[in-house]
Amino acid sequence: MNCAISGEVPVEPVVSKKSGLLYEKRLIETHISDFGKCPVTGEPHTIDDIVAVKTGKIVKPKPLHTASIPGLLGTFQTEWDGLMLSNFSLEQQLHTARQELSHALYQHDAACRVIARLKKERDEARQLLSEAERQLPAAPAVATENATLSNGKRAADGDDQGPDAKKMRLGISGEVITELTDCNAALSQQRKKRQIPPTLASVDALEKFTQLSSHPLHKTSKPGIFSMDILHSKDVIATGGIDTTAVLFDRPSGQILSTLTGHSKKVTSIKFVGDTDLVLTASSDKTVRIWGSSEDGSYACRHTLKDHSAEVRAVTVHATNKYFVSASLDSTWCFYDMSSGLCLAQVTDDSEKVDYTAAAFHPDGLILGTGTAQSIVKIWDVKSQANVAKFGGHTGEITSVSFSENGYFLATSALDGVRLWDLRKLKNFRTFEFPNANSVEFDHSGSYLGIAASDIRVFQTASVKAEWNPVKTLPDLSGTGRATCVKFGPDAKYVAVGSMDRNLRIFGLPNNDSTEDSAQDS
């Protein structure tokens, strides 16, 4: 007799008083405890309704196929196959679970990145909004109708204005003027205590300068380095080329860090913004670009400023590193907020029309010097944007201007040579006649003056009455006969030169002489 539930011979048989059916004791007890009724008839049942049946011990016969070795082997093989199939199924399920987990983790990571980017954009937007709101109280009411966007483009309702229409600007607010004035006071106080660093290269060392290296940074199809700047804290050199690109070059390693592409015409001016990760470039395509480094070390354009209507010739950074000025052939110079790229003021001289070809901030930051295509040098009060002085005497357009570190002297270069101006008496006190002078530059300490023309001349600075002695003449090894820009490295340990070929040239002490000079200094 078989169990009514399992269909097998019961080990502990019991019978129901109500239905008379035979069950395995453990099975029927479990069913009654769970459901309280007969599994076959459905009648209500309790444990008291079943009666145990006494039987002899049952010995189950072995299946026929286990009575021989081949049968056992077949049984083992079947069980092995079943085990392998089960293991394979489990591995498939594990693989599927891993894929689902990986996909979920990827989606989570992507969501976190998107959230982080959105938060960053939100914070930047809030910062721009707060800065714009801070500037608004100083702006005339009509400025709100003609406000420019942060990328330099006009709002949609101002598109009907012609190219000669004057754009309304927010103006330089009282807060900004206070910030400029505080910076001026702090720097003036520091300048009184300024001392020439002991690590500055000596005159004897400069006399031994020779070419140390030459680096082809720009394209051969459009050769020519038009502008240059050096970040002294990291010893990184930036060059702007006629090939429309700017290159950041790490001098110690001799490697190109990044190539900035985006301008459609030659890069006329390039500047580092203090020790930050920002770089400014100006171009003949009428734009100024603000570049910033990303996490991988490459640089991307953060703002493209289109406030000028003609070629932009120069950019110069204020000592606060929060503002900068661009100068253009459209007869205006613009004062910008660095973080937002907003043009706060666009200045033109109504008394005479001149095209600006060069610009530089005074070391204290309240004076701006500009050079023009009409051979005139103009000095501006940044706070009032008023022209406070004007120097004449050059022939041809002014190619560059440079203030000395002590704030007393201004050097200007033009087609007829270089002139030195005393800012205290507003007069020219010395002239160097180097035809086609393209660049003039004081070193960071104000001890040396570099001039780039058909060759490169280095002078030791002095007072108004004392003689400015020549220290070294470096040849233009480009073969073009035109050195376009010159910059002094940290502590004047080297001189970087750009020419009308595509190579950046470094002049300095040979290794042996450099070692001996360092030993003498110590």
Rg (CA), the chain: 42
- What was the pLDDT predicted at 58? 62
pLDDT band at 22 (very low <50, low <70, confident <90, very high): very high
Q: Is 412 exposed, middle or buried (0-12, 13-18, 19+ CB in 10 A)?
A: buried
Stretch 53-66: mean pLDDT, rounded? 70
Give the residue range(s) of CATH 3.30.40.10 domains in the chain.
1-60
Question: pLDDT digits over 241-294, tens only?
Answer: 999 999 999 999 999 999 999 999 999 999 999 888 899 999 999 999 999 988
- Distance from C-alpha of 194 to C-alpha of 445, rounded to nearest angstrom: 9
Are the C-beta atoms of residues 192 and 381 closer than 8 Å to each other?
no
CA dihedral 308→309→315→318, nearest 10 degrees, is -20
Closest CA to 501 of 265, 244, 237, 241: 241
The encoded tokens of residue 59 equal 């010995």
What whole-number distance in Å separates Cα of residue 320 and Cα of residue 284?
Answer: 27
Residue 163 has pLDDT above 90, yes or no: no
Confidence at residue 520, expressed as pLDDT on a 0 to 100 scale: 47
Which SS3 state, helix, strand or coil, does residue 448 take?
A: strand
Question: 91 pLDDT exceeds 70?
Answer: yes
State the Cα–Cα distance between residues 83 and 90, nearest whole angstrom.
10
Of residues 10, 50, 59, the one with CA closest to residue 32: 50
Classify each residue of 492-520 as buried b or exposed e, where b means 16 or more C-beta atoms within 10 Å of its C-beta: bbbbbbbbbbbbbbbbbbeeeebeebeee
In this predicted structure, which of 107-116, 140-149, 410-419 has the lowest mean pLDDT?
Answer: 140-149
Superfamily of domain 1-60: Zinc/RING finger domain, C3HC4 (zinc finger) (3.30.40.10)
C-alpha of 180 from chain center? 25
Distance, C-alpha 43 to centroid of its chain: 83
The conformation of residue 134, written as its DSSP 8-state character, comes to H
The predicted-structure confidence for 311-328, as pLDDT tens digits, reads as follows 999 999 999 999 999 999
Residue 395 confidence (pLDDT) above 60: yes
Q: Is the pLDDT of residue 113 over 90?
A: yes
Query: Which residue has tokens 């406030």?
Result: 307
> What is d(CA 44, CA 64) in angstroms, rounded to the nearest whole number?
42
- Cα–Cα separations (whole angstroms), residue 477 to 438, 500, 502: 16, 10, 12
| CA-to-CA separations, 31 to 27, 35, 51, 176, in angstroms, rounded | 6, 6, 15, 87
pLDDT of residue 223: 85
* Residue range(s) in the chain whose domain bears CATH number 2.130.10.10: 180-508
Q: How far is CA 170 from the centre of its chain?
A: 27
CA 58 – CA 416 distance, rounded (Å): 125
CB 450 within 8 A of CB 434: no
Residue 38: name the closest of 58, 61, 22, 55 by CA.
Answer: 22
Report CA dihedral (317, 323, 326, 327) to the nearest 10 degrees. Answer: -80
Report the percentage of the chain scoring pLDDT > 90: 59
The mean-pLDDT minimum among 147-151, 261-265, 382-386, 391-395 falls in 147-151
8 A C-beta contact, residue 374 and residue 390 = no
Cα 467 to its chain centre, rounded Å, is 44
Could you tell me if 357 and 397 are in contact, meaning their C-beta atoms sit under 8 angstroms apart? yes
CA distance 127 to 115: 18
In the predicted model, is pLDDT for residue 134 greater than 90? Answer: no
Three-state SS sequence of 470-509:
EEEEECCCCCCCCEEEEEECHHHCEEEEEECCCEEEEEEC
Q: How confident is the model at residue 62 (pLDDT cuts 50, 70, 90)?
A: low
Do residues 169 and 143 lie in contact, with contact meaning Cβ atoms separated by under 8 Å? Answer: yes
pLDDT digits (tens, 9 = 90+) for 226-248: 999 999 999 999 999 999 999 99
- Global pTM? 0.67
Would you state the pLDDT for residue 477?
Answer: 86
The two tokens of residue 426 are 């507003």
CB contact at 8 A, 266 and 498: no
Q: Residue length, the chain?
A: 522
- Judge: domain 180-508, CATH 2.130.10.10: yes
Q: Average pLDDT in the 449-455 region?
A: 93
42: phi > 0 → left, psi -120 to 50 → alpha, else beta; which?
Answer: left
Measured between alpha carbons, how far is 288 from 337 in angstroms, rounded to an integer? 13
Across the chain, which distance is largest between two alpha carbons, in Å? 135
Q: What is the mean pLDDT of the chain?
A: 86
How large is the average pLDDT for residues 29-50? 90
Q: Please tell me the predicted confidence (pLDDT) of residue 514.
A: 55
In 149-206, beta strands by DSSP E: none
85: tokens are 């199939």
Instruction: Write down the pLDDT at residue 59.
Output: 63
pLDDT, tens digit, 9 for 90 and up, residues 462-514 = 988 899 999 999 998 888 888 999 999 999 999 999 998 889 999 999 875 55
